[in-house]
Amino acid sequence: MFSKTYTFNRLGMLSNVIEVEVDIKKGLPKILFTGLLSQEVKEARERLRPAITNSGLDFPMSRITINLAPAETIKSGTHFDLAMAIAVLKANGTITETFKKTAYFGELNLGGEIKWIRGILPMVIEALNEGFEHIFVPQENYNELKFLKEYKIIPVRTINDLIDKIHYPELVTESSDMNFLFNKLTLNYNDIMGQEEMINAFKIAASGHHHMLLIGPPGSGKTMAASRLPGIMPDLTEEEILEINKIFSIFSLTTNKEWIISRTFRTPHNSSSTRALIGGGIKILPGEVSLAHKGILFLDEFLEFRIDALQSLRTIIEKKEVHISLRNGFAVYPADFLLVAAANPCPCGYYNTKGGICSCSLIDIKRYKRKLKNPLLDRIDLQVKVERVNYKKLINGLHNKSSEEIKKEVLNARNIQIERFKNEKFKLNSEIPSEKLSYYCNLQKETNDYLENIMESNLLTARACHKIIRISRTIADLKNHNDIETEDIAECIKYRIYDIE
Where along the sequence are the contacts to Zn ion (CB under 5 A)? 346, 348, 351, 358, 360
- Tell me the closest approach of the beta carbon of residue 234 to Zn ion, in angstroms: 39
Helical residues (DSSP H) of 347-443, grouped into ranges:
362-372, 391-396, 403-420, 437-440
> Is-contact 386 349, C-beta < 8 A?
no
- Tell me the closest approach of the beta carbon of residue 195 to Zn ion, in angstroms: 21
SS3 342: strand
- Tell me the closest approach of the beta carbon of residue 369 to Zn ion, in angstroms: 11
Residue 213, class by beta-carbon neighbours within 10 Å (0-12 exposed, 13-18 middle, 19+ buried)? buried
Please state the length of the chain: 501
Cα–Cα distances in angstroms (integers) from residue 391 to residues 129, 222, 359, 384, 396, in the given order: 58, 17, 23, 21, 9
> Is-contact 126 8, C-beta < 8 A?
yes
- Tell me the closest approach of the beta carbon of residue 361 to Zn ion, in angstroms: 9
Nearer Cβ to Zn ion (346/376)? 346
Nearer Cβ to Zn ion (268/349)? 349
Nearer Cβ to Zn ion (295/349)? 349
- Tell me the closest approach of the beta carbon of residue 344 to Zn ion, in angstroms: 8
User: Per residue in 66-83, is it b (16+ CB within 10 Å) or e — as a string?
Assistant: bbbeeeeeebbbbbbbbb
- Tell me the closest approach of the beta carbon of residue 391 to Zn ion, in angstroms: 21
DSSP 276-317: HHHEETTTTEE-HHHHTTTSEEEETTGGGS-HHHHHHHHHHH
Nearer Cβ to Zn ion (276/348)? 348
Nearer Cβ to Zn ion (298/368)? 368
- Tell me the closest approach of the beta carbon of residue 302 to Zn ion, in angstroms: 17
- Tell me the closest approach of the beta carbon of residue 270 to Zn ion, in angstroms: 19
Beta bridge partners of 113: 158
Nearer Cβ to Zn ion (268/345)? 345
- Tell me the closest approach of the beta carbon of residue 492 to Zn ion, in angstroms: 28
> Is-contact 85 108, C-beta < 8 A?
yes
Nearer Cβ to Zn ion (329/347)? 347
Residue 219, class by beta-carbon neighbours within 10 Å (0-12 exposed, 13-18 middle, 19+ buried)? exposed
How many angstroms separate the first and last alpha carbons of the chain? 80
Q: Which of 343, 304, 338 is nearest to 215 (CA)?
A: 343
> Is-contact 156 162, C-beta < 8 A?
yes
User: How far is Cα 324 from Cα 9, in angstroms, rounded to an integer?
Assistant: 18
Nearer Cβ to Zn ion (17/360)? 360
**Rounded to a whole number, what is the largest CA-CA distance in the chain?**
91
Nearer Cβ to Zn ion (234/347)? 347
Nearer Cβ to Zn ion (275/369)? 369
- Tell me the closest approach of the beta carbon of residue 358 to Zn ion, in angstroms: 3
